[in-house]
Structures are given as structure tokens and as C-alpha cells.
Amino acid sequence: MAQAFIGVGANLNNPRQQVQTAINNLDALPQTELVKASSLYGSHPQGPEDQADYINAVAEIETELAPESSPKCASNPRVRTR
């Protein structure tokens, strides 16, 4: 299995719930195990300052999935793989 660290964040429409849902969705991926997730933490936005603060977290997973195997990841310019 490959180890991956995934950062998640949101600043609109109940960001705490969005971040927690994202972590839960990672845990539900096939051939994937959620090893642990950080606590939620806030950060100020970069760029325009007229937006809400972000809620962020980092999840560590172990997976047999290739990053490019997910159509959502492959088509999302904000998803980066190494």
C-alpha cells in the first residue's frame, strides 16, 4: 500500500462539516485505509481578504489506488500528485 497525506479545506457553507465529510469520504474509498486525521484548524485566506477564514485538516491514508485512477482527481486542477 502507498502512503498519502491529503490536505482538505473549506471556507463556505458550513466548512467544519465539509472538512469532516471529506475525511469520512476518504475513509470510505475502496482499497484505502484512513490511518489518522489531524484536528481541524483555522487559517486566514491567501489573496483577497474579503472572504471567510478557512477550516483545514490533513488526513493520512494508505491506499492501493493510483492517484490518476480517480476521474475527479484527474480533472481537478487543484489536486496535485507526486
Domain CATH code at residue 65: 3.30.70.560
The single-letter code of the amino acid at 52 is A
Cα(65)–Cα(25) distance, rounded to whole angstroms? 14
Tally the domains of the chain.
Answer: 1
Consecutive 10-residue averages of pLDDT for the chain (82 residues): 91 94 93 96 91 96 82 50 50
Cell digits for 30?
A: 475502496
Structural domain of residue 19, as residue ranges? 2-75
pLDDT at residue 68 in the model = 73
pLDDT at residue 74 in the model = 44
pLDDT at residue 75 in the model = 44
27 lies in some domain: yes
Does the reported pTM lie above 0.85? no
Give me the residue label for grid cell 482538505: 8
Give the CA dihedral 34, 12, 74, 60, nearest 10 degrees: -20
Helices and strands (H and E) in the chain: how many = 2, 4
pLDDT at residue 67 in the model = 77
80 lies in some domain: no
